[in-house]
Structure 1
Amino acid sequence: MKPGDSTSVWLQRSTERLDQAILRYVDEQVSVASGLKSAIHYAATGGGKRVRPLLTYATASLAGKELDQVAGLDACAVALELFHTYSLVHDDLPCMDNDDLRRGRPTVHKAFDEASALLVGDALQTMAFQLIAQSALNDAQKVQVITSLSTAGGMAGMAGGQAIDLASVGKQLTQNELEQMHRLKTGALLRTAVQIGAIAIHLNDQEKKSLDVFASALGLAFQVVDDVLDASSDSQTLGKTAGKDAAANKPTFVSLMGLDGAREFARQLHQEALDSLSIWGDNADLLRAIASKVVNREN
């Protein structure tokens, strides 16, 4: 697929495909706890950039097949987005980042209550693993995907990165320390998104390694751009509270490098990500398009 309108159409259709799959899966859930199901529906269908599942889809497209032809792919993409949404719901809680706005709407604990938000996150996380376990992946793939996702969410991933973030308020971290924190907190799940796509199409270890270079650079670039937008945009554009990091005295790439320095670092990481895809030729154009979407976004 060549860059241009066809790529834009693919991104739009794949996002719609994912949104429909999420809605279908959530609606199919049977629960006597109707209030909890309503809160889960609110969290899971609230939109968002869908970058992670799009990366899974784009990676799977390296096989030259239509998405429908890759067994278990939709289940993996939905699971990944539910897992990501769980992390956002918990991150927004007063005991964590204490935010009132997410994706242009009140956060779950504001729209419902704190206890509901905690349970929504718990449920979304377990629903993600249930989806993978019941998917059309073969048993070996299921183990690989579950291992990848659980690693990304645990102490060696998001939870560990968030713990470092909370402990770093009011401190000045070095660039290496800041990068390490965000490779865990933000980057780990982006890397897993690419890994899952690679697992779904049976790529070999060397092919997975080359894609991990791409995902690692993109994951860090995502956070650098987040820091730039937090410091330079407004809440309406972002869909979440702007200027929160500075107000909370958190170390960021902007506080370390300045706005221009952070923008240049994001550009360098973007180029590193693109360079790592050279071995795939035109087959990786969808991954390139997503990388550009991540770095050039406004929210």
Structure 2
Amino acid sequence: MARWRVLAACDNDPAVANTYRANHPKTKFVSGDISDDATIDDLAMKVGGEHVDLMIICAPCQPFSSQNRVRAEDRRKQLIVRALAAVERLEPTAIFFENVPGLASAAYRSILDAVKARLSQLGYALSEPMVRDAADYGVPQRRRRCIMFAAKSQAAVNAFVSRDVRVPPRTVKHAIGNLPPLLSGEADACDILHRARVHQPIAIERLMNIPCDGGSRSSLPLRLELKCHVGRKSSFSDVYGRMAWSGPAPTLTTGCTDITRGRFAHPTQHRAITLREAARLQSFPDKYIFTGNVSEIATQIGNAVPPEMVRAFSPAFRAALKAAASA
């Protein structure tokens, strides 16, 4: 974020660690589970006794996703609670939590109550969960997220909540409309991430029969329908769907370059979007370096918090810190 100095960062995914280090070589990075004592010790050592103004916690989102079918068995849902051990150790002035909107549902109230109770023991006030759409904060994508803000004074929490500055949405065309066109399997010689998937002839024929600019598989003739979808046009309707030029993209996932995983077909070209297009729709600048194989990069892009969304919250962070200093 502009004019913010990152003291340290942490993630337990090796591919994410490599990507972060490639883009921020001067920032200290810890590879490990934020809930483990050894990781917290390493993080504290790298912070080196400096005061932490703001800590951002983004626990794995899959446990709280509407697409998760094994919630009761997923221990990762407790990670957001266990991560508070790092808060206890580093004592930041404020904490920003980000996750999928499912975290705000009644199904996870017990987890939120546990977070609130532990933060209260540590001297923090916590906002109610707020569901916000990244499209309202400069991101060319509909991406609803649950956010919460904690600080050592209620005045700071109130300052953050009240400073909700939104901007006009950006469109798919604004984000990717100037990229070179590609056919299935083609690649841009100047951009390693702008490479189209190789689609089977039947997939290309299906796309050719789906209207450009927002069309869906409901337009397919019977002979081209997927066998598993015959007679079920309303189910999984986004599969093989095209994005529309004039609005934000749908929510990107880790399968965002696969037309069988959602509305991830290019608005007019007969192919899925490329990694470059996905990165732009997540508001990553072209200069941002992604490391790893195609699958790892797609996962990094699909799981990322859009940089522009976080940037848009910067004035609210500053307002909260100012209020905290005056409390």
Give the structure with the higher percent helix. 1
Q: What is the TM-score of this pair, normalised by structure 1?
A: 0.31
Q: What is the TM-score of this pair, normalised by structure 2?
A: 0.29
Higher RCO structure, 1 or 2 (CA under 8 Å, sep 6+): 1
Which one has the largest radius of gyration?
Answer: 2
Give the structure with the higher percent strand. 2
